[in-house]
Chains A and B, each alone.
Chain A
Amino acid sequence: MKMIKYIKYSLLIVLSVTFVMPNAYSTDQEDKAKKKERVRMRLSYTNMSNNGSRLLAAAKAKIDRSYAGVKGLNIRFYHDSVSSETYFGKMITDERGEANYPIPEVFRKSLKYDSSFVFIAVFEGNDEYRSADADVEIRNAISKITFEEKDSLRYIKYFVGTPADSAHHYVPAEGVEARIYVKRLFGLLPISEEFSKTDENGMLTIEFPGDIKGDENGEVIVVGKVNDHFEFGNLQYAATSNWAEPLAEEDLLKGRELWSAAANAPYPLVLAVNVMLLGIWGTIVYIIYQMIRIKRLGAETG
């Protein structure tokens, strides 16, 4: 219990100075332990609309004279202010120094729908690193992708808007920089121009490119994104389309090649080797039979 009080106390100090130095700070007590490294923290918010929302806390510190992600830091997440009431979750940073925390739906729903939120990520410090925190203020916004076919032309429409009321009405957000991608195995392949902005209807509209490769059914995941918007943070929406080129996969292993596995050896080779083997070993067996004959003949005469 004592421990918790202490943490609360020190966190208050952290918070009070956070406004002056929002990115990194260390408490007085920890200053005495000179060898502790400073941690730089960044916090960002992503609303993935149909896929929940996330807080990404990235912690970096100077390691061997260059900044690198710090693994294993315990990051605690708060809403509005730092107190035990506003605490809603924690996560430990991975190898890249990132804690990508999925905001629990129950908590997310408890927030007021059409307002702005402040999220705070706090690292309380440990034996190696000084404490650090970061916050992010975002205005609630959503984005959504729809597909439209008009005059045999196919369009992707990406809408960005802010909620007008709780009945799912949205005010279009005009002039928001957005981009549309196709999901690939190792990243997102952009298919819209860079720096494109939404129009007065909050829409970014592009034609579905003709040369996008999908799976066997021509399905592909189209992703719309708004990155680092000054009010909305990050927005993201993923939707599946079946307009892509269906995968006509050519099976690399279908042939009987010299490099195929033993079971798929080329027939002519198998045939040739077996014919030779049979011919030669057949003769050898015949000679061995002749030797047995010699022995039998000798037994008869002897």
Chain B
Amino acid sequence: MNQIENKQIQEELMPRKFGQAGKLWTILLVIVILLGGYFYVQQIQNGLSVTGLGDYNTWGIYISNFVFFVAISLVGSLISAILKLSNVKWQVPLTRISEMIAVAAIAFAAIVIIIDMGRPDRFMNVILKARIQSPITWDVIVITTYFFISIILLYLPLIPDLALMRDQDKGEKPWLKKLYRILALNWRGTELQGRILKKSVRILSVLIIPVAFGIHTVTSWLFATTFRPGWDSTNFGPYFVSGAFMVGAGAVICAMYVFRRQYGYEKYLTDDIFNKMGKLLVLLSLVYLYFNVNEYLAPAFKMKAHEVGHLNALFTGEFAPMFWSVQVLGMMVPIIVLLFPQGRKPLPMFIISILVILGAWFKRFLIVVPTLSHPLIPTEKLPQSALHYMPTFAELSITAATLAGALLIITVLARIFPVIPVMETIEENYE
């Protein structure tokens, strides 16, 4: 009985060749990336003048997009570390999806930060001339570290599945076969190999948690170590971490739904898992809401001279439409909908997750841009055009390309590796 079931699980979970939709999707992503690449070449030639940035709004959507990627990447540690260590069983089918998202996001976080540099040709200075006092140096260290841990954490649990794919006679391309063979590390499934693997994954799961908190806290310090209104906050570390957990959960739900639909994984990515992820998302959203209240209420209560312009621009001014859309659609609505069992069904959850992800992207914009539009010095005699930031088409294209790039990485990973851990699912089945 079990033998047959295992065979079936194996069959169903093996990576498959792209169908029509898959191919179309990949081509679309490649087109977006090529367009962004074209504009990036322009940016290399003409400098950052191709963007809408200026001496006051000196950081824009590149940086907010960077923060977004860093936030998304936190999902890896949430699902495969925190849930795993707290002995939650239903997380097993989600671990690989979340690690894939994490690896793609963190890789593009690094790429985006290079895109934002005025002199990318001098990138090596960051390593060769590093100043340990700079939060940017900390960020470079912690992003690199998190990237490696995420890759290993994606790879280790994959080894038994790789061995499985190595050993099966399905007609995959020779180079793929070769890749599986090399990556499978002579996996024979012996007891000792299994023990070493389990132990290693467990160690990494513990290790990734402080690093994940580190990456997000350090990223928040890029802002909190300055005097700028809206950034000058002791709350920023936990505020960023909680926001990252929320969008990370949203990203996983979104990916879950897409894979479930695409591959027909209703049996593995069950309604129950959606229901549980929904509850988790409510919890995370409530935590983030709590930090939002803290972040805005305390300064708004005081209305310090330096903060007034910034807060007014958010609450009632230039940025109010975006601010309230993000707060209501990206946070209140998800919380309310997900409180109801019907709201935690796959489709509504998918829609909510899209809202959460969009809200999170614009939220990062609202963290970065309005602050810089309100410098501490009086602005009356400053060139007013310099105080209003509107991203250019080139900037938007490049940003879209990075998002498409991250999606392409996930797509390619999903093409060559099983998105749901095969061996772990089989093991689960035995228990």
Binding site for B on A (CB under 8 A): 258-262, 265-266, 269-270, 273, 277, 280-281, 283-284, 286-288, 290-291, 293-299, 301-302
Contact call A262/B207, Cβ cutoff below 8 A:
no
Is B296's CB within 8 Å of the partner chain A? Answer: no
A262 touches which of B130, B148, B156, B188 (Cβ 8 Å): B130
Distance of B357 from chain A, by nearest CB (Å):
29
- Expressed in whole angstroms, the minimum distance between the Cβ of A144 and any Cβ of chain B is 53
Give the residues from 125 to 147 in chain B that come closer than 8 angstroms, CB to CB, to chain A. 129-133, 138, 141, 145
Q: Does B192 contact A (CB under 8 A)?
A: yes
Bound-state CA distance A281–B148 (Å) is 10
- Nearest residue in A to B149 (C-beta to C-beta)? A284
List residues of B (1-22) whose CB comes within 8 Å of A's CBs. Answer: none
The 8 closest A-B pairs by CB, nearest first: A298-B186, A295-B185, A262-B131, A290-B200, A265-B132, A258-B133, A301-B188, A299-B186
Cβ distance A297 to chain B, nearest Cβ, rounded Å: 5
Tell yes or no: B211 within 8 A of A by CB. yes
**Neighbouring A residues of B152 by C-beta, 8 Å:** 284, 287-288
Closest chain-A Cβ to B155's Cβ sits at a distance in Å of 8
Q: Which residues of B contact A281 (CB under 8 A)?
A: 145
The verdict on B190 contacting chain A, using a C-beta distance below 8 Å, is: yes
CB < 8 Å neighbour of B185 from A266, A280, A283, A291: A291
Does B333 count as interface, using CB distance less than 8 angstroms? no
Interface residues of B (CB under 8 A from A): 129-133, 138, 141, 145, 148-149, 152, 156, 159, 185-188, 190, 192-193, 196-197, 199-200, 203-204, 207, 211
- Once bound together, how far apart are the Cα atoms of A197 and B49, in whole Å? 64
Closest to A260 in B: B133
* Residue in B closest to A273 when the chains form the complex, CB atoms: B132
Question: In the complex, A283 Cα to B156 Cα: how many Å?
Answer: 15
- A293 contacts B196, C-beta separation under 8 Å: yes
Residue among A261, A294, A298, A301 facing the most chain B CB atoms (10 A cut-off): A294
Chain B nearest CB, measured from A13 CB (Å): 55
A-B contact pairs, 24 of them (CB 8 A): A258-B133, A259-B133, A260-B133, A262-B132, A269-B132, A269-B133, A270-B132, A280-B145, A283-B204, A283-B207, A284-B145, A284-B152, A287-B156, A290-B197, A290-B199, A290-B200, A294-B185, A294-B196, A295-B185, A296-B186, A298-B187, A298-B190, A301-B188, A301-B190
Instruction: State whether B133 touches A266 (Cβ < 8 A).
Output: yes
B133 touches A265 (CB 8 A): yes
| Chain A residue at minimum C-beta to C-beta distance from B184 | A298
CB B408 to nearest CB in A, in angstroms, measures: 27
Shortest Cβ distance from residue B112 to the other chain A in the assembled complex, whole angstroms: 24
Residues of B within 8 A of A284 (CB): 145, 148-149, 152, 207
Q: A293 CA to B159 CA in the complex, in Å? A: 13
Other contacts beyond A269-B132, A297-B192: 4, CB < 8 A: A273-B141, A287-B203, A294-B159, A298-B186
Docked complex Cα distance between A286 and B196 (Å): 11
Q: Are B207 and A297 in contact (CB under 8 A)?
A: no
- Residue pair A297, B190 in contact (C-beta under 8 Å): yes
Chain B min CB distance to A295 (Å) = 4
B185 touches A261 (CB 8 A): no
**CA separation between A260 and B131, bound complex, in Å?**
9
Q: How far is the CA of A197 from the CA of B359 in the complex (A)?
A: 80
Q: Which residues of A contact B185 (CB under 8 A)?
A: 291, 294-295, 298
Residue numbers in A under 8 Å from B203 (CB-CB): 283, 286-287
A291: nearest chain-B partner, CB-CB: B185
Q: Does A273 lie within 8 Å of B138, measured CB to CB?
A: yes
- For A260, the chain B residues whose CB sits under 8 A away are 133
Residues of A within 8 A of B145 (CB): 277, 280-281, 284
